[in-house]
Structure 1
Amino acid sequence: MRIDWKLKSTIIIGALSVVLAGSTGSISGIEHSKMNMGGTNESSETTNAHTEKTAVLTGKEFNLVATQSNQEIAPGKSLPVWTFNNSVPGPQIRVKQGDAVKINLKNELPEPVTIHWHGVPVPNSEDGIPGVTQNAVQPGQSYTYEFKTDVPGTYWYHSHQDSVNQLDRGLYGSFIVEGNNEEKVDRDYTLMLDEWVSSGKGMSEMNMPGMDHSGMKMNSDSSSTMDNKMSSMSMGDDMSMYDLFSINGKSGSIVDQLPVKQGEKVRIRLINAGYLSHQIHLHGHEFKSIATDGQPISNPGVLKDNIINIAPGERYDIEFTANNPGQWLIEDHSDNKAASGMRAIIAYEGAPANSDKSNASEKLPAIDLTNYGQSGKKTFTLDQKYSLEYTMNLNTEMKNGNMVYTINNKTFPDTDVLIVKKGDTVKVRIVNNSKMEDHPMHLHGHFFQVLSKNGEPVQGSPIFKDTLNLKPGEEYVVAFEADNPGNWMFHCHDLHHASAGMVTELKYTDFKSDFVADPTVGNKPE
């Protein structure tokens, strides 16, 4: 059943107690550098969804409660939202490299839910995919995820149950793994980017492309059947209904400022939790892009008048020295009037207000990762021998009067599966044959190395990612080692495209899952 944004019942916002095995804090703009990370046992309360801070949870055990609420997204504009711990974004979970973590999920929503740990190389059983790795957690029920955080970086978590709708309502948060040897900074901010419909209408009311998975039945090897019923395509892939852009769940003047002091080293972690790409520009400072999808860039060069084009599901970490006192913007330069709401003020202590003006209309060059940083140690090369090679042709077409998004001319669950065994080296050629749409392709459970773009080998730093955006006409070659046995999703993270067919799987022949799907619980993996 599709979910209506217009919740009919009155939502009572109550206090939620968040008990965890670590220190907690509420830091403006999700800022962490001043936290006590000593591992003391404390508990905190998140009072309501209108709090101006996003909680930061540290330790090794965490409680997340999925619940309904209301949140002020723009000045004077509150929307019904679905939340983890009563806020959008949900609390940042911040852990150490090598920690064994435990996350307890309680579902107080009227629909089933799961949590996927986007980019974190968890064991397959902890990946949070309903019908593939677990059954969706029913209303009133709880579920526990346990895994080790061996790979440091910037990640995030979100529901993967009917995710095109549930993520759109706010079921996401950031997940940071601090490296044991990473360079310390004075300020460490996380900005989660998203888009909203100010009318409060859900996707099922907007006639967007999407697939009703209510007829899907998943078994233990994740094969499935579905009724192929598509929603109306009268609007095509028109995303203009998203008329509020937000940073950490807020738009416009209510976005939290990012305070700094002169001379401080500042890190900003950008996470795109939405379905549109955003062109982020930092005013008034030179900066470096030090990581993509949590993985470090080798000897990144100094940038200034450049934008970072961040697609759905991607993450970029940037770093700069606060050496230009004033108030400066970090903002979206996308060609969309809603982009004016996606800006935050970097405020030096003691600086006069409104000292910087937006230049969002200025067209600036985007960072080209394939020619950025310096060449370093590569895991793979274009001309080496691989165990397996695959091609994924991405496209858009009409089938039975509906728009669908295809991989090799097929839609999920009929797409061709990538079959591997542990230890295989795998090269994948991915081509976007769609005429107008980007396709940010996300591989679960693995990082892949980007080897070439449009036939040209990567010239700069080796690039390791889990989400790669392909613009119309682009071709990339990537490679990875099959080093994490399981049944894994590989899909477009514009989830409208995924729900309309652009999904396949990576399956290990030498893996056998103990999971048995329950056909009665309404598993909806996309």
Structure 2
Amino acid sequence: MLTRRQFVAAAAGATVARAFEGANEPPAYAQRLGLAVSMDGDKTIAVPLIAAERPTSLPCFAGRSLPLWTFADGAWPSVIRLDLGDRLEATLDNRLPDDQSTSIHWHGIRLPNDQDGVPYLVQPPVQPGESFRYVFTPPDAGTYFFHTHCNTVEQLGRGLEGILIIDGDTTEPYDADMILLLRDWMIDLDAGEFMPFYTLRGAGRAGTYGRVRSVNGAINPEIPLPSAGDCRLRLINSDPTRIMQIAIDGADAAVIAIDGIAVQPFALSVAYMGPATRIDLAVRAPGEGRMARLIDRASDTPVELAHFVASGSARRTSAFDPAPLRASCIPNPDLNNAVRLRFVFNAGEAAQLLAAALDDATGTTLGSLCLSQRIFWTINGRAWPERDHSRLPPPLAVLKRGHSYVFELENKSSFMHPIHIHGHTFSFIRSNKQRRPAHHTDTLLLLPQENAEVAFVADNPGVWMLHCHVIEHQESGMMGYFGVV
């Protein structure tokens, strides 16, 4: 007999499935989302996270060792894996250089406000020599990651990040389950050193792109897959800047989760992946000895990010119809009674001056512009007043706990902005620019001049960030917060 919780989750999954059928071409696959499960884990997982500078030679560094900042000796990135219902106790120990305070934000997790990791807003920054213990039970299975929220542009740029996997969302086992961490590195390989992580041009425009692209720390790695197996590929774009258009060449592929939350499987054509986005794919591996490729089609010349080589006897012979994941327990907003709030993301006056100077053929120089405050971006005409969060502005909005809200997100700038919400998960409703399936997301990529609507139940009390996840945009004004009371 179904519990009430399982019945509600099943009904919600069916509603999402119907929405996907109407929004995708080709249509969604036949199998439906599985029933949500209760949080069955009963363990406490204690994890030390010692943030320190550790010279590291990743395969993509061409034999050079660079001063990465990592959470563990001999491991990049750190990976934490829990069962749904397990309690995480992660102790952050700051052993970074003396001028580096830090914290950890658990990206995409609906967790208690005091565990969210935003310095000054919900916790004091963790100074060198200090520690802080994060304790929470993640309510949703799926693919997540964590990173610092202090001086993020440099700390993330130097590698201070990790992966958080919450198991418990499968309806049947996949033949392989692999994590693919996608990111650039701001390094000069000839000199063997990091380049500037923050530039005025990048902050005022599309962000500063790295020179070395990697998957799991390697350039175009070869990844073995079982022949004709249905494989789960957990793609995580942890890059501070780069927006990708992901495709799989040489194999059938379906999207099965977005930002950690299950969707009715639908065929992958090309998928945008902004910074901080996760997409889980089910891929039918090619036959033995054959190859498939992970491609970024965002530029005129597609870039091969990784290639998959199949081996062994064929695991499956049936037509590709990937096993779906289990529905989430995220509450459904009441759209008929939702309060609507408008958030406009735009360039500030300094960014407009910077863009004009960079495009000006008359020889205007950056030195002639007053850009010292580095405030380039705004939300509703307001910018966060300090890059390090230390001066808190008034909230963008105050929401009533348990009420439903529709956020109207308007990008009035000429650049893309991945908008990330803390402590909650959006339900996507509509857009004037993109044909998207209905789905849950914590980081919605807004195209230039795009107007999108998302909805959620404000069921998590506290003060929560809303910001662009192009980190240079975040740190030059495009961040704010809202309260839930």
- What TM-score do the two structures reach when normalised by structure 2? 0.75
Give the equivalent residue in structure 1 for 2:71: 84
| Structure 2: distance between partners of 1:237 and 1:82 | 27
The residue aligned with 1:524 is none
Q: Which amino acid aligns with 1:242?
A: G
User: Of 370, 380, 398, which residue of structure 2 is paired with 1:401?
Assistant: 370
1:277 and 2:243 correspond:
yes
- SS in structure 1 opposite 2:125? coil
Q: 1:489 aligns with which of 444, 455, 465?
A: 465
Change over 3 Å in CA distance of 1:151–1:378 after alignment to 2: closer
Does the C-alpha gap of structure 1 residues 416 and 64 become closer, same or farther in structure 2, counting only changes over 3 Å?
A: closer
**Aligned residue runs from structure 1 range 472-511, under 5 A:** 472-508=448-484, 510=485
Residues 459 and 77 (structure 1 numbering): CA distance in 2 closer, same or farther, change over 3 Å? closer
The alignment partner of 2:114 has SS state of helix
Query: 1:149: how far off?
Result: 1.8
- Does the CA-based 8 Å contact 2:148-2:161 persist in structure 1? yes
Confirm whether residue 379 of structure 1 aligns to residue 358 of structure 2: no
Write the distance in 2 (CA, Å) between the matches of 1:483 and 1:119.
Answer: 15
Shift of 1:179: 1.7
Q: Identity over aligned residues, as a percent?
A: 31
**Paired residue secondary structure (1:161):** coil
Residue 301, structure 1, aligned to residue 266, structure 2: yes
Match of 2:308 among 336, 343, 346: 346
- Relative to structure 1, is the Cα distance of residues 415 and 468 closer, same or farther in structure 2, using a 3 angstrom cutoff? farther
After TM superposition, list the pairs within 5 Å mapping 1:190-339 onto structure 2.
Answer: 190-199=179-188, 200-203=193-196, 206-208=199-201, 236-237=204-205, 239=207, 242-252=210-220, 255=221, 257-274=222-239, 275-298=241-264, 300-303=265-268, 306-325=269-288, 326-335=290-299
- Work out the number of aligned pairs and report it: 390
Match of 1:52 in 2: none
Q: How far does residue 415 in structure 1 lie from its aligned partner after superposition?
A: 6.5
Matches of 1:415 and 1:503 in 2, distance apart?
Answer: 12
CA distance in 2, matches of 1:89, 1:245: 16
8 A contact 1:68–1:86 mirrored in 2: no
Query: Which residue is 1:357 aligned to?
Result: none
Which of 145, 148, 151 is the matching residue for 2:134? 145
TM-score by length of 1: 0.69
Matched, 1:68 2:56: no
Shifted more, 425-434 versus 189-198: the winner is 189-198
3-state SS of paired residue (2:181): strand
> 2 CA distance for matches of 1:309 and 1:109?
34
**Which letter does structure 1 place at the counterpart of 2:228?**
G
CA RMSD across the alignment: 2.6
Aligned CA distance change for structure 1 residues 82 and 488 (closer, same or farther; 3 Å): same
Q: Return the letter of the residue paired with 2:261.
A: Q
Q: CA deviation at 1:259?
A: 1.4
Partner of 1:392: 343
Q: Give the unaligned 5+ runs of structure 2.
A: 1-40, 314-329, 351-368, 386-392
Amino acid at match of 2:428: V
Residue 307 of structure 1 aligns with an amino acid whose one-letter code is V
Q: State the 1:307 CA deviation.
A: 2.1
Deviation at 1:311, TM superposition (A): 0.5
Letter aligned with residue 309 of structure 2? A
**Alignment partner, residue 406 of structure 2:** 427
Instruction: Report the more deviating stretch, 494-503 or 314-323.
Output: 314-323
Secondary structure of the structure 2 residue equivalent to 1:66: strand
- How far off is 1:278 after superposition? 1.4
Unaligned runs of at least 5 residues, structure 1: 1-38, 40-57, 211-235, 352-376, 511-526
1:169-198: per-residue Cα shift (whole Å, max 9, x none)?
111111111126543212111111111122
Aligned twin of 1:161: 150
Letter in 1 for 2:413: S
Give, as a single letter, the amino acid of the residue that structure 1 aligns with 2:272.
N
Evaluate the alpha carbon distance shift between residue 280 and residue 183 of structure 1 in structure 2; reply closer, same or farther with a 3 A threshold. same
> Structure 1 residues 77, 415: closer, same or farther in 2, change over 3 A?
farther
Taking a change above 3 Å as real, the CA distance of residues 416 and 150 of structure 1, as seen in their structure-2 partners, is closer
Q: Secondary structure at the match of 2:453?
A: strand
Distance in 1 between residues matched to 2:452 and 2:396, nearest whole Å: 19
Preserved contact between residue 88 and residue 173 of structure 1 (Cα < 8 Å): no
Contact 1:490–1:504 (CA<8 Å) still a contact in 2? Answer: yes
Q: What is the rounded CA distance, in whole Å, between the counterparts of 1:150 and 1:468 in structure 2?
A: 21
Secondary structure, aligned partner of 2:455: strand
Q: CA deviation at 1:385?
A: 1.9
8 A Cα contact 2:199 2:208, kept in partner: no
Structure 1 residues 378 and 112: alpha-carbon distance in aligned structure 2, compared to 1, 3 A threshold: closer
Counterpart Cα distance in 1 of 2:275 and 2:169 = 28
Distance 1:442 1:350, change over 3 A: same
1:380 deviates by 3.9
What residue in structure 1 maps to residue 322 of structure 2? none
Q: Return closer, same or farther for 1:378/1:62 CA change in 2, 3 Å cut-off.
A: closer
**For residues 497 and 464 of structure 1, do their structure 2 counterparts lie closer, same or farther at Cα, with a shift above 3 Å needed?**
same
In structure 1, what is the equivalent of residue 317 of structure 2?
none
What is the CA–CA distance in structure 2 between the aligned matches of 1:455 and 1:281, rounded to whole Å?
20
Aligned partner of 2:246: which letter? I
Q: Residue type of the partner of 1:317? A: D
Structure 1 contact 74–251 (Cα < 8 Å) conserved: no
State the match for 1:186 in structure 2.
175
* 1:141 CA displacement: 2.1
